[in-house]
Amino acid sequence: SYVLTQPPSVSVAPGKTARITCGRDNIGSKSVHWYQQKPGQAPVLVIYYDNDRPSGIPERFSGSNSGNTATLTISRVEAGDEADYYCQVWDGNSDHFYAFGTGTKVTVL
């Protein structure tokens, strides 16, 4: 199976920085995309192609990807950032085509 491993939870104080990791062997060779999902809502794309932001996503959201780990960084965390976050890759050469991470619950203290 194509597993992207994320920490189940991350806690962060308002105004601080949250870092959410997404791990897999050689993930740095793939493009990683990130989604934010608030309770009862559909996921929202917040980062694509490792570090690009869709229109309307604050600059506080950024990404990086190298080696075996991709990271979503949320700077100056706000209460409204509390949500589940999922990473995702596309691998057209595998039977899975699309793989999602296990998800990380970000709690703002």
CA-derived radius of gyration, the chain: 13
Of 31, 64, 68, 73, the residue at the interface with another protein (CB under 8 A) is: 31
Near another protein in 49-78, by CB under 8 A:
49, 54
Closer CB to another protein, 54 or 67, in the complex: 54
Identify residue 59 by its one-letter amino acid code. E
Q: Which stretch binds another protein (CB under 8 A): 14-22, 29-37, 66-74, 75-83?
A: 29-37
Q: Hey, which bits of the chain come out as E strands?
A: 9-12, 18-23, 32-37, 44-47, 61-66, 69-74, 83-91, 97-100, 104-108
Closer CB to another protein, 40 or 80, in the complex: 40
Of 42, 79, 80, 93, the residue at the interface with another protein (CB under 8 A) is: 42
Of 44, 57, 73, 105, the residue at the interface with another protein (CB under 8 A) is: 44
Task: Please name the residues in contact with 23: beta carbons below 8 A apart, sequence gap of 6 or more.
Answer: 4, 5, 6, 68, 69, 70
Rounded CA-CA distance 92/39 in Å is 31
Contacts with another protein, residue ranges (CB under 8 A): 31, 33, 35, 41-45, 48-49, 54, 86, 88, 90, 95-98, 100-103
